[in-house]
């Protein structure tokens, strides 16, 4: 199995590489992949266990830890990049501000048959053991990435116009709940069901910025 590599991109389509693949000198002992789903409870039904409506998938996460150790060189020629140089190279790809995209880079992590597309959530660096000049000889990196899917890619998997998928939308200025129901379901008369599902007192004069959960409904 090859070494874990980190590649940085300026765009969420992962087509414009800004930093070439960085190969970590030592593979992490383990990788942790996390997945989750967000549900919203239908409070009108009053079920003991609740009636949780699917809203959307939560972004996947990838976590790993890597020990960089200058006290035991691992390169074939007996040499190894200084710990601080390697930490800087990781930070350049995961953390540093990208002036072209005006944000930190998007990253691709590859290890064996795992390929993860995302962006940095947290990066912790713990230094241990220093030489007489105070130069660190060991560093432990703890990395957590959150998955990223571009709108273009998301639309390929989920149709936002489909009534078969519950989703959360934010009401825009001048937009009414009835108009939203007509747009999504093709029937403004479903406004009463949507209002009850969201525990609203009515469906008129709902302020802009209100989050509305649109459940799976069909016209009668």
pLDDT per residue as tens digits for the range 148-202: 987 666 655 555 445 445 677 888 899 999 999 888 888 899 998 888 888 888 8
Has residue 69 been placed in a domain?
Answer: yes
Same domain, 116 and 143: yes
Same domain, 184 and 204: yes
Same domain, 21 and 75: yes
pLDDT at 204 (0 to 100): 86
Domain containing residue 24:
5-37+59-154
Same domain, 143 and 179: no
Bridge partners (DSSP) of residue 155 are: none
The distance in angstroms from the start CA to the end CA of the chain is 56
> Average model confidence (pLDDT) for the chain?
84
Same domain, 98 and 187: no
Same domain, 168 and 131: no
What CATH number should be reported for the domain holding residue 165?
A: 3.10.350
Cα 150 from Cα 135, distance rounded (Å): 41
* Cα 90 → chain centroid: 19
Has residue 91 been placed in a domain?
Answer: yes
Which residue is listed with tokens 């959307």?
56
Task: Kindly report the pTM of this predicted structure.
Answer: 0.68
pLDDT at 119 (0 to 100): 97
Same domain, 88 and 9: yes
Q: What are 114-149's pLDDT values in tens digits?
A: 999 999 999 999 999 999 999 999 999 999 999 998
- Number of domain units in the chain: 2
């Amino acid at each position: 199995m090859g070494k874990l590599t980190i590649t940085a991109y300026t765009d969420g389509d992962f087509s414009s590489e800004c930093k070439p693949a960085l190969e970590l000198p030592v593979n992490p002992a383990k990788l942790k992949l996390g997945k989750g789903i967000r549900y919203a409870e239908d409070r009108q039904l009053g079920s003991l266990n609740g009636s949780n409506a699917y809203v959307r998938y939560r972004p996947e996460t990838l976590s790993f830890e890597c020990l960089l150790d200058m006290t035991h060189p691992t390169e074939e020629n007996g040499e190894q990049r200084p710990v601080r140089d390697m930490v800087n190279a990781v930070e350049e790809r995961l953390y540093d501000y990208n002036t072209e995209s005006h944000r930190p880079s998007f990253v691709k992590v590859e290890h064996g048959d795992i390929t993860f597309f995302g962006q940095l959530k947290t990066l912790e660096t713990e230094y241990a053991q220093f030489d007489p000049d105070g130069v660190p000889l060991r560093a432990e990196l703890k990395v957590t990435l959150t998955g990223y899917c571009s709108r273009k890619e998301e639309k390929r998997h989920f149709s936002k116009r489909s009534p078969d998928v519950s989703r959360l939308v934010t009401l825009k200025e001048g937009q009414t709940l009835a108009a939203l129901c007509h747009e999504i379901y093709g029937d403004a008369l479903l406004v009463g069901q949507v209002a009850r599902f969201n525990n609203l007192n009515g469906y008129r004069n709902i302020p802009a910025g209100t989050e509305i959960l649109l459940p799976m409904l069909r016209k009668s």
